[in-house]
Amino acid sequence: MEYTAGTVLITGAARGIGRACAFRFAQAGFRLLLNTRTSAAQLEDLRAELSARFGAVCLTSIGDAGDEVYVKELFQELNRLGGRLDVLVNNAGVSIVGLLQDMSLDEWNRIISSNLTSAFLCCRSAIPLFLHQGGGSIINVSSVWGNTGASCEAAYSATKGGINALTKALARELAPSHIRVNAAAFGAIDTEMNGHLSIEERRSLEEEIPAGRYGTPEEAAELIYDLAVNHAYLTGQIVTMDGAWT
C-alpha cells in the first residue's frame, strides 16, 4: 500500500466516480473530506468502509456544492483535518436528458449550479489554501460532451464545456503559484448516471465504442489520482478517457 501525506476534498463522493476516487485516495494514505448533496446514508457507509479497510481519516459533509454558504462551511471542516488541502476533486454534477426546448429555467439553473457553479465555489475557496501552502492540485471532472456536445444533453454539454474552459484559464492564472489545474473528460462510464438507458440502448452504445465496453469508475478514479499527484509540469489539460469513442 502507498502512503502519501495529504488531504483531498472530493465533491459528489457517495457514488460512481466520486466513490471510486475516495477508495483510491484512501488507499494512498490521504486524509479525506467527502461531500454529497443527497446520498447521506451511502456516504456514511463509504466512510465506515474506508476506515475499516484502510484506516483512513475521513470526514463527511452533506450539502449542495453549488451553494455559496454551504461551501464556506465545507471548507471550514478542513480545520478538523489539520487545516490543509492538497487536492481538490470537483466531481459533483447532475445530468438532465431531453430537448432544450422542453427545459425549464429552473432545470437550467439547477444543472448550471450543480455542475459549474460548484466547481467555481470550491476552486475559489481552495486557492487561498494552496497559495499559503505553496502549491496544490485541482482536478475537474468533465465529459466528452464538453468537447463535442451531445444531442438531448445541450445543457449538460454546456456545463462541461464551461468546466473545460475554466480548467484552461485557471491553469494559466495559477501556474506561477505552483497550482496545477487539469480536467478528466470521460466517455461512457458504468455509473448510475447512465441508469436511464435501457438494455438495448446500453448494448447499442457499447457497439459504438471502439474499445467495446463501458469504462469503470475505478479506471476513471485511477486517471484522476494520477493527474492529481503526478506530472508536475502537466497543467491546463483536458485529458480524455473514452475508449476511442470520440
Catalytic residues: 156
pLDDT 10s digits, 163-222: 999 999 999 999 999 999 999 999 999 987 666 677 887 888 889 999 999 999 999 999
Pick the range with the lowest mean pLDDT from 100-104, 138-142, 202-206, 225-229: 202-206
pLDDT band at 3 (very low <50, low <70, confident <90, very high): very low
Q: What CATH architecture is 7-241? A: 3-Layer(aba) Sandwich (3.40)
In DSSP notation, the chain reads: ------EEEESS-SSHHHHHHHHHHHHTT-EEEEEESS-HHHHHHHHHHHHHHH---EEEEES-TT-HHHHHHHHHGGGGGTS---EEEE-------S-GGG--HHHHHHHHIIIIIHHHHHHHHHHHHHHHHT-EEEEEEEEHHHHH--TT-HHHHHHHHHHHHHHHHHHHHHGGGTEEEEEEEE--B-SGGGTTS-HHHHHHHHHHSTTSSPBPHHHHHHHHHHHHHS-TT--S-EEEESTT--
Over 80: is that where the pLDDT of 2 sits? no
Mean pLDDT of 56-78: 98
Mean pLDDT of 134-152: 97
State what percent of residues in the chain have pLDDT above 70: 96
Return mean pLDDT, the chain: 95
- pTM, to two decimals: 0.94
Indicate the domain borders of the chain.
7-241
